[in-house]
Amino acid sequence: MSVLSLDASQGSQRLRELVGLVPSGDRSFYLRISGLENLVFFGRLHGLRRREAIARAEEMLERVGLADVADQRVAFYSHGMQKRLSVARAFLTDPPVLLVDEATHDLDPAGAREVRGLVSEAALRGAAVVWATQRIDEISGFGQRVTVLAGGRVTFSGTVTELVARADSTRYLLRLRNGGLEGEALVPVLERAIGSLGSVQTAADEFVLALGDRTALGEALVRLAEEGVQILSCHPERSALEEAFVAVAGGR
């Protein structure tokens, strides 16, 4: 395998100059020293002179919104702040390749969005970003090409749209109403309407409609409407991306 025409298996110094890493772990800094000193240290390991490293570290801290806490020990940084510091470190030399390893897996949605935003900026500046994630939904509107690995093998490679097309949804969550009937009492009505097209179960205040192979959702919905059931909402039990992932990765 080669990266920028360099043999990746050799892990050469030249290759490491060209790749910025955002590691998955939440601890990848020296906790007893400040965020600024951490970035300066890593900047110098990337070959920057001390003065350049300080200037660059300050610029990066500003970019990721940590300028105010630059002189604080990293031990006092929150999870999200450490992750942003990690992104700042990866940007230190504006590398042409960014390897982001599950950077959002332990962040709240707001923190995750922030990190995605920062990495998107790098991509817009021209960096190739390899974003490894288990949160499949976050690639929607963010990633361009997707490679799915399962059991150490590539099981899919293509665009996000092509991946979504692999979704094979057969289970839907419905919110229904039929006069005064609700919950378990409504199930016999629904089963009669659906007949051999599939099955219906209750799930909290919704119903799970499981369709048989090759059954169109529209056909089932028409049957329900004909039975006098009002359909308030209908959506796949899992997101299209998750369905697609399960389909191509061979999971359940």
Partner 1 sequence: MSVFAVSTRPRHGFIREASKVGAFLRRDFLVAWSYRLAFASDLLTLAAMTFTFYFVGRGFDQSTLPLIGGSRPTYMEYVAIGIGVSAFLTFGLGRVALAVRGEQLMGTLESMLMTPTALPTIQLGSVTFDLFYIPIRTALFLLVTAVAFGLDFRVSGILPAAAVLMVFVPFVWGLGILLAALTLTFKRGANAIGFSALALGILSGAYFPLALMPHWLATIAEENPIARAMSAIRSALLSDAGWSAIGPDLALLAPLSVLSLAVGLFAFRLALRRERRLGTLGIY
**List of residues contacting partner 1 (CB under 8 A):** 11, 13-14, 16-17, 19, 21, 23, 25-33, 37, 40-42, 44-50, 52, 56, 73, 89, 92-96, 125-126
Residue whose CB is less far from partner 1, 93 or 133: 93
Q: How far is the CB of 205 from partner 1 (least distance, A)?
A: 44
Q: Which tokens is 50 given?
A: 């001390």
Residue whose CB is less far from partner 1, 118 or 224: 118
Distance CA 82, CA 78 (A): 6
Residue whose CB is less far from partner 1, 95 or 143: 95
Q: Which tokens is 197 given?
A: 């097209």
Q: How far is the CB of 44 from partner 1 (least distance, A)?
A: 4
Residue whose CB is less far from partner 1, 132 or 246: 132
Q: How far is the CB of 235 from partner 1 (least distance, A)?
A: 38
Three-state secondary-structure class, residue 25: coil
Are the beta carbons of 223 and 194 closer than 8 angstroms? yes
Q: Rounded to the nearest 5°, which phi and psi values hold at 163?
A: -70, -45
Q: Rounded to the nearest 5°, which phi and psi values hold at 24?
A: -80, -30
Helices (H), the chain: 13-18, 35-45, 50-63, 79-91, 109-124, 160-164, 187-194, 217-226, 240-249
Residue whose CB is less far from partner 1, 13 or 161: 13
Q: How far is the CB of 142 from partner 1 (least distance, A)?
A: 20
Q: How far is the CB of 17 from partner 1 (least distance, A)?
A: 4
